[in-house]
C-alpha cells in the first residue's frame, strides 16, 4: 500500500507557488497542470525552455527573470547520484527547435530532447491523492529501437535504484515504455511525425513527478524529441451509487475475502478501491475471476470504482 504524503508547511508553500505560476503561464481556464508543457516559453534565451524539465533549475531564466521552477523544486541529491552512477554530470534535457510543429499548439516549434543516456525530463506537480489524472506526451525517436521510459512518481527520489521494476516500485504511480515513436522525418507545419502517448493514473500522494529517461539515446544520432506534455484531472462520466445496480450485481457485501462482481451490460477495464480519506488502496486491471480480492484490506468501509471506457461506476463496500 502506498503512503500518502502529509501537507507540511513546505508542501503548502509549494502548492501556493505552483498555483501562482499556473495562473501566470496558463490562466485560470487551463486544465493542464504542466508548467511550459508546449516547451515554447522564454523568448530572450530560447534555450531556457528546457529549464521547466530540469531537476536542478537555474535561479534565473531569460537572463534576469527569477525562475518559477527553481522556486518549486531542486533535486540536487538525484543530480549528484546520476553524476556518480550514470557517468555524465549533465542531467538536464536539451532544448531544440525540432519540436512538434504540427497542430494549433505547436507554438514556435520548440521542444526538449534527450541526446545523452543520463539526461532526464523532470517536473514536480501538486496533485490531490485519490484523484484520477490523464498524462499525455508527444515524442519522436530519430533512430529505431530508442525507447523512452515514462514514470509518474509519487515522491522526489534520490536514486534510480528500483525503477527497473517499473510500476512495482512503491515510488511509482504510473509507468509506460514508448516503443512506437520512431520517425526519421522532422515535424513540419503540414506533417505530424510525432507519436502521442496517453495514459491515466490515480495519484497516491500530494505530488506527481514527471520523470522520463531514454537510456539508448546516447548521442545526436540517437536522440528523442518531446513536446506537448500535459497532466490534467481525468474527465469521466460517472454513475451515482444508487444507479450502480443498474449495471452490476455485487455479492457478498459485507465481505471478508472476495467480492463477486457480475456486469449486466458493460466490460470492466479497471477496478479500484479507495478508503474514506481518498487514498487508493487497491488497483487491478479488469475483473479477476469475476471479482476482486479484498482479503488484504483492513476492516472498514471503502469506495469501489469500476471503469469501463470513459465511464466510472462507484458504490460503497464493507470489508469485515
Least confident of 16-30, 179-193, 240-254: 16-30
Q: Which CATH number applies to 237-319?
A: 2.60.40.3080
Compute the distance between CA of residue 106 and CA of residue 78 in angstroms, rounded to an integer: 32
Summarised one tens digit per residue, pLDDT across range 210-239 is: 999 999 999 999 999 999 999 998 865 555
Identify whether the C-beta of residue 79 lies closer than 8 Å to the C-beta of residue 91. yes
Residue 28 pLDDT > 90: no
Identify whether the C-beta of residue 41 lies closer than 8 Å to the C-beta of residue 95. no
Which pLDDT does position 261 carry in this prediction? Answer: 93
Is residue 19 classed as helix, strand or coil in its secondary structure?
Answer: helix
Which pLDDT does position 8 carry in this prediction? Answer: 41
Cα torsion through 109, 79, 153, 40, rounded to 10: -10
Which pLDDT does position 171 carry in this prediction? Answer: 94
Compute the distance between CA of residue 255 and CA of residue 253 in angstroms, rounded to an integer: 5
Q: Do 9-233 and 237-319 have matching folds?
A: no
Least confident of 2-11, 178-187, 299-308: 2-11
79 burial via Cβ count (<10 Å: 0-12, 13-18, 19+): buried
Least confident of 120-124, 138-142, 282-286: 282-286
- 156 vs 266, more confident: 156
Considering the four listed CATH numbers 2.60.120.260, 3.30.1360.100, 1.10.579.10, 3.20.20.70, the one that applies to the domain covering 9-233 is 2.60.120.260
Compute the distance between CA of residue 139 and CA of residue 149 in angstroms, rounded to an integer: 11
Task: Report the share of the chain in percent with pLDDT over 90.
Answer: 59
Sheet holding 148-153, edge to edge: 120-126, 207-213, 148-153, 172-178
Which pLDDT does position 190 carry in this prediction? Answer: 83
Which pLDDT does position 258 carry in this prediction? Answer: 96
Residue 6 pLDDT > 60: no
DSSP designation for 56 = S
| Domain-wise residue ranges, the chain | 9-233, 237-319
Which pLDDT does position 27 carry in this prediction? Answer: 34
Task: Return the closest-CA partner of residue 224 out of 215, 236, 233, 211.
Answer: 215
DSSP-assigned states of every residue in 106-123: -TTS-EEEE-STT-EEEE
Which pLDDT does position 208 carry in this prediction? Answer: 97
How are beta strands 311-319 and 300-308 bridged, if at all?
antiparallel
Residue 105 pLDDT > 80: no
- 73 vs 107, more confident: 73
pLDDT classification of 315: cutoffs 50, 70, 90:
confident
Least confident of 233-247, 269-283, 288-302: 233-247
Identify whether the C-beta of residue 32 lies closer than 8 Å to the C-beta of residue 26. yes
Which pLDDT does position 265 carry in this prediction? Answer: 77
Is residue 152 classed as helix, strand or coil in its secondary structure?
Answer: strand
How are beta strands 237-239 and 311-319 bridged, if at all?
parallel
Compute the distance between CA of residue 264 and CA of residue 290 in angstroms, rounded to an integer: 12
Strands (E), 27-119: 60-61, 65-66, 94-96, 111-114
pLDDT classification of 119: cutoffs 50, 70, 90:
very high
Summarised one tens digit per residue, pLDDT across range 66-92 is: 999 999 999 999 999 999 999 876 899
Cα torsion through 133, 170, 276, 266, rounded to 10: 50
Omega cis (within 30) before 254: yes
Which pLDDT does position 18 carry in this prediction? Answer: 44
Mean pLDDT of the chain: 85
Residue 104 pLDDT > 80: no
Which pLDDT does position 242 carry in this prediction? Answer: 56
63 burial via Cβ count (<10 Å: 0-12, 13-18, 19+): exposed
Residue 127 pLDDT > 80: yes
pLDDT classification of 107: cutoffs 50, 70, 90:
low
Average pLDDT over residues 283-295: 92
Phi-psi region of 220 (alpha: psi -120 to 50; beta: other; left: phi over 0): alpha
Omega cis (within 30) before 259: no
Residue 241 pLDDT > 70: no
Which pLDDT does position 238 carry in this prediction? Answer: 55
Amino acid at each position: 500500500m502506498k503512503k500518502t504524503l502529509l501537507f507540511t508547511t513546505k508542501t503548502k508553500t509549494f502548492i501556493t507557488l505552483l498555483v501562482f505560476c499556473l495562473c501566470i503561464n496558463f490562466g485560470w481556464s487551463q486544465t493542464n497542470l504542466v508548467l511550459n508543457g508546449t516547451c515554447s516559453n522564454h523568448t530572450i534565451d530560447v534555450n531556457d525552455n528546457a529549464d521547466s524539465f530540469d531537476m536542478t533549475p537555474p535561479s534565473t531564466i531569460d537572463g534576469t527573470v527569477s525562475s518559477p521552477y527553481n522556486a518549486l523544486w531542486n533535486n540536487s541529491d538525484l543530480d549528484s547520484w546520476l553524476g556518480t552512477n550514470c557517468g555524465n554530470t549533465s542531467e538536464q534535457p536539451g532544448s531544440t527547435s525540432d519540436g512538434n510543429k504540427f497542430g494549433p499548439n505547436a507554438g514556435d516549434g520548440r521542444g526538449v530532447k534527450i541526446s545523452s543516456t543520463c539526461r532526464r525530463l523532470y517536473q514536480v506537480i501538486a496533485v490531490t491523492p485519490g484523484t484520477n489524472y490523464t498524462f499525455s506526451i508527444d515524442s519522436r525517436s530519430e533512430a529505431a529501437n530508442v525507447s523512452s521510459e515514462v514514470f509518474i512518481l509519487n515522491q522526489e527520489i534520490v536514486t534510480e535504484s528500483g525503477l527497473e521494476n517499473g510500476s512495482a516500485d512503491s515510488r511509482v504511480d504510473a509507468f509506460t515504455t514508448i516503443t512506437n515513436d520512431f520517425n526519421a522525418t522532422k515535424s513540419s507545419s503540414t506533417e505530424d511525425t510525432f507519436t502521442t502517448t496517453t495514459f491515466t493514473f490515480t495519484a497516491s500522494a500530494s505530488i506527481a513527478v514527471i520523470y522520463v529517461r531514454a537510456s539508448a539515446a546516447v548521442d545526436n544520432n540517437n536522440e528523442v524529441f518531446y513536446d506537448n506534455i500535459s497532466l490534467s484531472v481525468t474527465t469521466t462520466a460517472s454513475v451515482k451509487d444508487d444507479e450502480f445496480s443498474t449495471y452490476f450485481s455485487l455479492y457478498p457485501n459485507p465481505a471478508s475475502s472476495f467480492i463477486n462482481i457480475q456486469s449486466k451490460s458493460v466490460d470492466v477495464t479497471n477496478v479500484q478501491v479507495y478508503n474514506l480519506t481518498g487514498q487508493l488502496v487497491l488497483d487491478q486491471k479488469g475483473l479477476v475471476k469475476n471479482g476482486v480480492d479484498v482479503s488484504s484490506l483492513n476492516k472498514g468501509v471503502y469506495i469501489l470504482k469500476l471503469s469501463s471506457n470513459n465511464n466510472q461506476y462507484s458504490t460503497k463496500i464493507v470489508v469485515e
